[in-house]
């Protein structure tokens, strides 16, 4: 049995909550952008693709800082969301979910995009000749055939969100019981010289991520998980 304190179990529960919420909220946007990148040709498509992939190459602390200056209480957008919608991101668990979702978004989009590109366009064209409009074709043809890739993208995003550290620490901080996720708790344990707690938390995170990746690997070919064609 894992020998964790109630505070550390809270970090585990918060990490699962953050990863779940960030994945579910990002999913509709991930499907929409993946469909646009897979099926549409337009000016600026390479730029959109680059923006989607940007969190993979930017240092996480830079991403976290950009989120903080955009969604912080003193930022115009952050103040508007707080005053009119009651959404506060800075130094709240919602900020951790936002940061985790942004960092995991490229992996989700990539897996879904590859699955959409693998769908036979002739099936969609056949539905069009029978009078199906674009939305109905997507809903009845493309989406069901893409479902394994969507699930795999969700699992990859969940695993990435579960281990997010830099961006989360920047916007949500390290408040035990409130914003301290698993990765932040590991950092705090190492800083405090508590190697035993750090080892257990690392083990919990690693096992969870491995289980998620193994499950995702059974749903789609490895190329959909690695982003290779």
Averaged over 152-168, what is the pLDDT?
89
What is the structure's pLDDT at 229? 42
185-203 mean pLDDT: 86
Structural domains in the chain, sorted by start: 6-226 (1.10.3720.10)
Q: Which of 70, 59, 90 is nearest to 167 (CA)?
A: 59
Predicted confidence band at 219 (pLDDT cuts at 50, 70, 90)? Answer: low
- What pLDDT digit, counting tens, does each position of 19-29 carry? 999 999 999 99
What is the pLDDT at residue 3?
67
> Computed from CA positions of residues 138, 140, 141, 147, in that sequence, does the dihedral angle turn out positive or negative?
positive
Q: Indicate the pTM of the whole model.
A: 0.86
Predicted local confidence at residue 220, as pLDDT: 59
pLDDT value of position 227: 46
Q: What percent of the chain has pLDDT over 70?
A: 92
Query: What mean pLDDT is reported for the chain?
Result: 85
Question: CA–CA separation, 168 vs 189, rounded Å?
Answer: 17
Dig out the tokens for 37 from the structure: 């990148």
Q: What's the pLDDT at 70?
A: 92
* pLDDT tens readout for residues 65-82: 999 999 988 888 888 988
84-101 mean pLDDT: 91
Average pLDDT over residues 11-36: 93
Q: What is the mean pLDDT of residues 167-176?
A: 89
User: How confident is the model at residue 35, as a pLDDT?
Assistant: 92
- Would you say residue 228 has pLDDT above 50? no
Question: Which segments within 137-217 are labelled E, that is strand?
Answer: none
What residue has token string 């020998």? 3
Check pLDDT > 50 for residue 211.
yes
Dihedral sign, CA of 181, 220, 42, 131? negative
Best mean pLDDT range from 131-145, 181-195, 214-228: 181-195
- Helix, coil or strand: residue 43: coil
């Amino acid at each position: 049995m894992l020998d964790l304190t109630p505070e550390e179990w809270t970090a585990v529960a918060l990490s699962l909550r953050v990863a779940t919420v960030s994945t579910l909220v990002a999913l509709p946007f991930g499907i929409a952008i993946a469909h646009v990148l897979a099926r549409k040709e337009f000016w600026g498509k390479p730029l959109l693709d680059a923006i989607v992939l940007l969190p993979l190459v930017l240092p996480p602390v830079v991403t976290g800082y950009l989120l903080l200056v955009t969604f912080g209480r003193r930022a115009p957008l952050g103040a508007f969301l707080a005053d009119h919608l009651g959404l506060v991101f800075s130094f709240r668990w919602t900020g951790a979910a936002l940061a985790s979702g942004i960092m995991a978004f490229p992996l989700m989009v990539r897996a879904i995009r590859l699955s959409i590109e693998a769908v036979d366009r002739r099936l969609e064209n056949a539905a069009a000749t029978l009078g199906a409009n674009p939305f109905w074709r997507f809903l009845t043809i493309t989406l069901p055939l893409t479902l394994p890739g969507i699930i795999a993208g969700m699992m990859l995003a969940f695993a990435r969100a579960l281990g997010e550290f830099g961006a989360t620490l920047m916007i949500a901080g390290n408040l035990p019981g409130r914003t301290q996720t698993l990765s932040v708790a590991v950092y705090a344990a190492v800083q405090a010289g508590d190697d035993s707690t750090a080892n257990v938390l690392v083990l919990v995170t690693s096992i969870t991520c491995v289980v998620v990746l193994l499950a995702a690997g059974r749903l789609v070919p490895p190329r959909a998980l690695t982003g290779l064609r």
